[in-house]
Amino acid sequence: MDDIKIGIVIPAHNEAMTITKCLASVQAAIEQLPSTITASVLVVLDSCRDDTLELVESVDVDYLCCDYQCVGQVRDLGIRHAIASGATWLACTDADSVVTPDWLIQQIAHVKDQPTDMICGVVSIDSWAHLTLQTREDYMAHYQDRMGHHHIHGANLSFSAEAYLAVDGFAPLECHEDADLVKRFESKGYAITWSNRVRVITSSRLQARTAKGFAAFLANLETNN
C-alpha cells in the first residue's frame, strides 16, 4: 500500500465560482499524506465558456480540455489519462465540492484495514440557507450518513485502477454514470466499502449541470415543498 499512486480526477463545466475552493481543499488533503504516497490532480474541463481554465492554470494543476458535454465521457477520459500516467488508485470528486482534510487518509485507512476495490463515500450539504426547512427535513429523512449506507456520489467515489479497467470504466452517460459503474463493480464481485468516514461537502445549488444529478434532486425536493 505504501507504493500507491493516487490520481484525483475532477470534471468541470463552467465552474469558475467553485473550482478554486475545490482545488485548495484537494491540495490540503494531499498534504496530509505520508511521504511514501504520491498523489496528482487532473481537472477535465468540458465545454467551459467561463474562467475555469484560467483559474486552474493559476494554481499549476494538470488539466485536459474536451467538448463532450457528457459527464461519463469526461470522467472516463480523466481516469484513463491518470492511469496511463501511473495512478493505481483513483479518487473522484466534483468541481463544486470541497473534500475534507482527511479525505485521502481515510481512503488509505480503509484499504489497509480491509482490502477493497471501491469506496463509496458520503456528502454533506454546504448550506441550507436558501432552501426550505421542509426540504432539509425531507433530505435528512432520506439520507443515511453512516457506515454501510448505499448512496452513490460521483463527487466522492474512489477505486483501484485494475478493477476500473476490468469493468471497462465509466460509460458515456449524461447522468448516473457513477451508479452504473458501481453496479458493474458489484456484478463482477469486487469488494465495495460504503463509508461515511470518506466525506466531501457539496454544493446545495439548484442550477443543475445534468438533468438528473444531485442539484436536480435537491431542486425536485424544493419544488415539491
Q: Give average pLDDT by consecutive 10-residue segment, the chain, 225 residues.
A: 86 96 98 95 97 96 96 98 98 97 97 94 80 77 92 96 98 95 98 98 68 64 65
Q: Do the Cβ atoms of 6 and 39 come closer than 8 Å? A: yes
Indicate the burial class of 73 (C-beta count within 10 angstroms; 0-12, 13-18, 19 or more): buried
Tell me the residue ranges of DSSP E strands in the chain.
5-12, 38-46, 62-66, 89-92, 97-99, 118-125, 157-160, 192-202
Query: CATH number for the domain including 145?
Result: 3.90.550.10
Q: Note down the domain range covering 194.
A: 5-223
Q: Any idea which residue has 482534510 for its cell?
A: 101
Among 133, 132, 154, which Cα is nearest to 74's?
Answer: 154
Q: Do the Cβ atoms of 31 and 102 come closer than 8 Å? A: no
Residues paired with 199 in a beta bridge: 122
What pLDDT was estimated at residue 60? 87
Q: Cell numbers at residue 130, please? A: 436558501
Structural domain count, the chain: 1
Identity at 213, one-letter amino acid code: G
What pLDDT was estimated at residue 21? 97
Q: Do the Cβ atoms of 81 and 64 come closer than 8 Å? A: yes
For 50, phi then psi, to 5°, come to: -110, -150
Q: pLDDT (tens digit, 9 = 90+) per residue, 125-139?
A: 876 666 678 777 877
Q: Residue 10 and residue 48: Cα distance in Å, rounded? A: 13
Q: Do the Cβ atoms of 106 and 33 come closer than 8 Å? A: no
Beta pairing class for 118-125 and 157-160 = antiparallel
Model confidence, pTM: 0.90
